[in-house]
Every structure is written in C-alpha cells, then in structure tokens.
Structure 1
Amino acid sequence: MAIERTPKQNFLDMAKGIPSDYLLQFAYGPNPYSKRPLMNMFCGPGFLNQHRSPEGGKDIWGVNYVTTRDTGYSGMPEPNNFILKDITKWRDVIKAPDISGFDWEKMAKDDLAMLAKMGIDPSQTAMMYSMHFGYFQLLMSFMGFTEGLCAIAEEPEEVKALMEYLCDFYTEIEAKSFDLYKPDLIEIIDDTAAWGAPFISNEQYRELFNPCHAREAQFAVDRGLPVAMHDCGKCEPFIDDWIDFGVKYWEPAQTCNDLLGIKEKYGSDMIVIGGFDANGELILPECPEETFKAAVVDVIDTLAVGGNYIFDGWLFGDPDDESVNNKNRWLTEATEDYSVERFRSKL
C-alpha cells in the first residue's frame, strides 16, 4: 500500500506536474480550523519585517506603518506621511541599513525556532523563503501612489536606479541567508495591480520591476527549487514574464482574472492558487453557513478540473469578529471535506 504524501510533498510535487492526492488549501499562517498539518509557511530574515506586527512601526527604510483592528492588524504606510517627495532625490533619503555585523546563522536559527514554537514541522510543511513585500510596493510606500506612479511615468531611469539599489541590498541578504533557512521554494511578492487593471504597463513592469524579481528568484532556480509569486488584482498580463524567471505557483489568483483561460493556457506550468473572493452576499455577516460553503464548493468544482489548482480564499478582519472567523472555519471545512473521490474525478 502506497504511503500517503505529506501536505508538503503534495504541494511541491505539483510544481513537477504531479497532481496532489487531495484538494490543498494555501496558508498565510497557522490555520486554527484545519485538521491537517500546514501545507506551507513563510520563512526568512525576521528583522526585515518587524514592522509587520499588530503595533505597526517603522520599517528598515523609515516608512511608518499603521494598523487597524478591522483589517486583522494588516500594516499600511501611514497616509500623507511619505518619506520621498522627489524621485530624483532618492539617494539622499533611501539608505540601506548596515548589515555587516549580523550573525546570520544565529538569526536563521532563532527565526526557525520561532516557527517551531508555532507548531511548524518542516517535514510536513513546505518552507517558503520570502524577504519583503515587493519593489513596486516599496516605491508606493516611499512616495504614495500619486507621486509613485508619476515617478514611473516621468522619471523611469531614476526609478530603475532606485530599484537596482534596493535589489542589491536584498540579494546581498539573500546570498548570506538563503541556504541557512533550508527553504523548499521562494516566494516573490509584489502587488502590481488593482481589481480592474494593472497599475503599470507590461513594458514598465519588464523594465523596472521584473529584473529585481528575477534576480531574487534565481537563488531558488540555481538550487532546483520552484518559485511562487504573490500578486493581487488583475495581474494576468504579467504571467508570461513570471514564467520566464521560474514561477510555478501564483497566489492569490483573484476572480478578476480569467482563471479558467489561464489554467487552459498554462496547464501544469502554472499552479493557480485562489479563485474564491467573498463578495456580495458572501461577505455579509448574516450569510448562512450552507450558502457560504456551497459557494466554496462551486469554485472548487470549477477550478479543480484538470488539476493545477489549490484553494485560497482566507478572509482577514478583526480577530474577534465572529462573522469573519466563522467564514474562515467554513471555507476550511468545505475544503477539507471535499472528498478525495470527487477531487480526483476532476483531474
């Protein structure tokens, strides 16, 4: 009798074109409603994201992040308090911190020990190396969207120089720490699109941001590890560019994209992670459990056809909001109750 693969093995095998044994659910952290070991978990130098705490605070570049309870303490740059007013003056403002005295081995050991205290078992859970929340997003955090987008349009050479400076810093960290975390894959993060369209053109992406993504991804590619991409909104125009630097997984694939067309076009070359957006009736506090779960199952029935699909639809909100917590419990139950036979019939 064959030994059932771990969630980690199922997840990683999908990048090799091997279907998973059952429907998988992507994780942004420990899921209190799940009966399974965590499929994936982020790892990487913790000092880079200390501002991503419930209290917020300044990041390593000096941007002040604020949080709200209603967003589950997700941090955002403080409005109207941007640190860079003129892109041509970025060299005077953006200063990489000194990392020459860091004990990288101790840092990795401490970061991994913290994950172990959270119950993360690397034999069961795929470790996803990740450092920051994106080059496009960093520019917007420095300047705000109005000035940041104007800088891209009016001073692309200065933007490119800034991106290269940031990338030099992050890839230096990557060179010193990547192997210490023993990751199974790398995730590149950058939200380059709104719901209706990308914020930038394909040409602007290829010129300014893609090279940075590719440089970070190369550390995984050189080691034979897959690459995942996090990009919200209608970012499907960039998929071909992602594939060029090794991307095999995309999350959260939101419903503003042509997900069925993407699955058909790329097949097992791109694992679509997402497909569920709790809009309309589904987001209402009074939405019945059966209605919500039926919507989850409908998404799975549609997107699981042909394989190369992982469910993702986690809701972020006030930790004490019973409605939000119930919905996350329901979507987890619906995912884990989706029968193996029904799932395999879709492959």
Structure 2
Amino acid sequence: MKMTHKDRFYATINYQPVDRPASWLGLPVPEAEKALTAHFGVKSVDEIRKIIDDDIYPIEVPYNYAPSNHIACAFRFAKVDHLDKPDERTLTAPGFFEDYTDPADVDKFDWPDPAKYLDRAESLRRAKAVDDKSVRMGVMWSAHFQDACSAFGMEHALMTMLMNPEMFQSVIDRITEFYLKANEIFYESTKGHLDAVLIGNDFGSQTGLMVDPELLRAHVFQGTKQLIDQAKSYGLTVIHHSCGSVFPLIDDFIELGVDVIHPIQALAADMDASNLKKHHYGKAAFCGGVDAQYLLVKGDAQSVADKVDELKELFPTGLVISPSHEAILPDIPPANIEAMFKAINNVN
C-alpha cells in the first residue's frame, strides 16, 4: 500500500517498514531551476516535487534584512565589501571582532533584532500553503559556529577559540541567542503547520574534521543542544546538516538529540553508506547518499539508478535518499535527477 509522504518519512527515520525509502530533492539554486523546469516541462520546482513524488517540502524563513534578505546572512560582520548572499558569502573575510580581545566587547557590535525582520504572517502563509500530508520542513540553518567564524574571519576565529576561548565563547553565545529568538518567532508563527527543521554547521572537510572534536564539544555543542531542544519543545523533528567527513561526530549528534543526520557527503572520508551501516545502522537516521560531487555531475542515468538501488539495499529503511549536498547546482544534468527519483520510486 502506498504511504503518505509524512508517514513514509517517519517510518524511514524510525527504521520501520516502508513502501520505499523517503526522499528529498534538496534546494535547487536559481541557476539550476531553469534547466530543471525545462527538462520536466513545468514552470516551478514545486511542480517538479509533485512529479517526482518527493516527501519533504522545504519552507524558507521570510527574513527581510537587506541586502541578502536571508536568515543565513543575518550579520554584517565583514570589514570589507563582498557579496552577501547565501551562496556567495565568505567566512574568511576579516570580521568585526578581529581586533577585539575582551569578552565585554561583544556589545560593541550592532546586533540585529530578528523580531524586526522576520515576517510572522508570511511564515504562517508559507507553512499553511504546503499539503499537510508532506513533511513541512523549516530551513532554519542557525549556523552559530559558521557565523562565529565569520565574526572574526575564519582563521582568526579558530585561533581565538584556542588562545582566548572566553572571547570566542562570548561571540558564539550571542549568535546563539539571536537564533533562539528568531527560531522561536518562526515556530510560534507556524505552530501546528510545521513538522521538521533543518539546522546545522559545516564541521568537515573532504578528508576529516576542520576542528578538533574536543573544541567543538567545549565551545559549540552547547549552543547546538539549545537549538535542538528548542525545536523539540515544539514537537519538531531535527535534521542536522554538516558537510564533509564528520564520522567522528556522529555519536555526538545522536547524544545531542539529532533525529536525522544530513547530508552523508558520499565521497568524504568514512561517510560512504556502507561504512555508516556498519557502525550506525539502527542507531541514527541519515539523509543523503547520492554523490553530488562526481556521480550526479559526470555519471549517466544508469549509474545514478544503480547507486540508488545500492543505497536501498544497504538501507531499506533508515535513510532518506537525497543528493549528498543540499543544493542542486547547475552542473548536475536534470536527466540524472529524474533518474534518481525514478529509481527511488521503482519506476522503469
């Protein structure tokens, strides 16, 4: 019997029997949308989601703070002019706190008030517009670690974490406070019309962690725990994102209360689905697995379908099948996206 999107998602992440594993298309960037809609013969990505029978519907937070108007770019930390859009921002530019060493100086930054910029009515409208049989997922990000890197400039931030941990902590704690307030506004505005949230930070590179896990446990995960607990207090499922090789942190994510670990960057060290099954099958739910670095870009439709079949054999449940990066970029041929979802849906 065919399951609803929501029932399939919850069965998948709880390792229960499913008619097929749950799926998520991800977030096509604007440059990729034209090719995708042309390939599928439709006018919008929403129509594509219906055609491919996708299970998760992402809801972007309406945050009106120029120039980016995006919750992921809520702080003007950079001391130099640079493009300030979610897919073009940099964490490495010299940041506001680069020259500060006293934790009390945290108040010298002009911290924005999310209540001024987060549109409550539009939040509710967006959530109510989604079929309640789909998984309605708020794209919160709440990337307090990445924003702390931007606040100093990444190299300086990591040195501050080691050499002046009180200073680093004062900044990341203030960033966390911002997200707790912003998220509360969104959760209150959409109460009863939201099922899950996507939050996270990138902790991994292609070959390993960017930061010693003990430093993350000391200075970052307290804020992560607050953000997770807040979402769960509203009854929401927490999908935690981190690109790269984060295998050493999976047990931490589980302990913090993460429900689904995203995105399983397939070519990153130790993140292949077979290794995750060996060590964590039944202990944690995952989302991702279809390589977006090489396979979806350079492979053909048959090789994509073969990978999906392999993932379904490894994880008949427990894995939400999705590209191994949340963004669908313009270098991915739309035919490979179609092949991926035909294989997920058992369509010849």
Q: TM-score by structure 2 length?
A: 0.77
Equivalent residue for 2:245, pick from 213, 234, 243: 234
Task: For residues 21-63 of structure 1, give each alpha carbon's deviation from its aligned partner in whole angstroms, at most 9, with x where no partner exists.
Answer: 2243323344664414542233364227765569x99734444
Q: 1:336 maps to which residue?
A: 341
Q: Give the aligned length.
A: 317
Q: 1:334 to 1:271 in 2, by over 3 A?
A: farther
Shift of 1:215: 0.4
Equivalent residue for 2:276, pick from 246, 262, 272: 262
Shift of 1:259: 2.9
SS at match of 1:253: coil
Cα distance in 2 for residues equivalent to 1:245 and 1:25 = 24
Q: Which amino acid aligns with 1:8?
A: K
Compute the RMSD of aligned alpha carbons: 3.4
Equivalent residue for 1:302, pick from 302, 310, 330: 310
Q: 1:302 to 1:51 in 2, by over 3 A?
A: farther
Shift of 1:179: 3.1
Q: Which amino acid aligns with 1:334?
A: A
Contact 1:44-1:108 at 8 Å conserved across structures: no
Contact 2:205-2:245 at 8 Å conserved across structures: yes
| 2:65 pairs with 1:66 | no
Equivalent residue for 1:18, pick from 16, 19, 28: 16
Cα distance in 1 for residues equivalent to 2:185 and 2:345 = 42
Task: For residues 60-96 of structure 1, give each alpha carbon's deviation from its aligned partner in whole angstroms, at most 9, with x where no partner exists.
Answer: 444466279xxxx723138645333135255154332
What is the 5 A alignment of 1:1-347? 2=1, 4-29=2-27, 30=45, 33-34=48-49, 35-43=51-59, 45-47=61-63, 52=68, 59-63=74-78, 66=83, 74-77=87-90, 80-88=93-101, 91-99=106-114, 102=116, 107-114=119-126, 121-182=130-191, 183-255=194-266, 256=268, 257-279=271-293, 283=297, 287=298, 291-304=299-312, 305-306=314-315, 307-313=317-323, 316-318=328-330, 324=331, 327=333, 329-338=334-343
Contact 2:5-2:134 at 8 Å conserved across structures: yes
Q: 1:26 to 1:91 in 2, by over 3 A?
A: same
Contact 2:124-2:189 at 8 Å conserved across structures: no
Cα distance in 1 for residues equivalent to 2:248 and 2:73 = 33
SS at match of 1:250: strand
Q: Which amino acid aligns with 1:165?
A: R
Cα distance in 1 for residues equivalent to 2:22 and 2:219 = 34
Shift of 1:138: 0.3
Shift of 1:147: 1.1
Aligned-pair identity (%): 18
Bigger Cα displacement from structure 2, 300-309 vs 241-250: 300-309
Cα distance in 1 for residues equivalent to 2:177 and 2:21 = 39
Q: 1:321 maps to which residue?
A: none
Shift of 1:122: 3.5
Q: TM-score by structure 1 length?
A: 0.77
SS at match of 2:321: strand
Cα distance in 2 for residues equivalent to 1:203 and 1:36 = 42
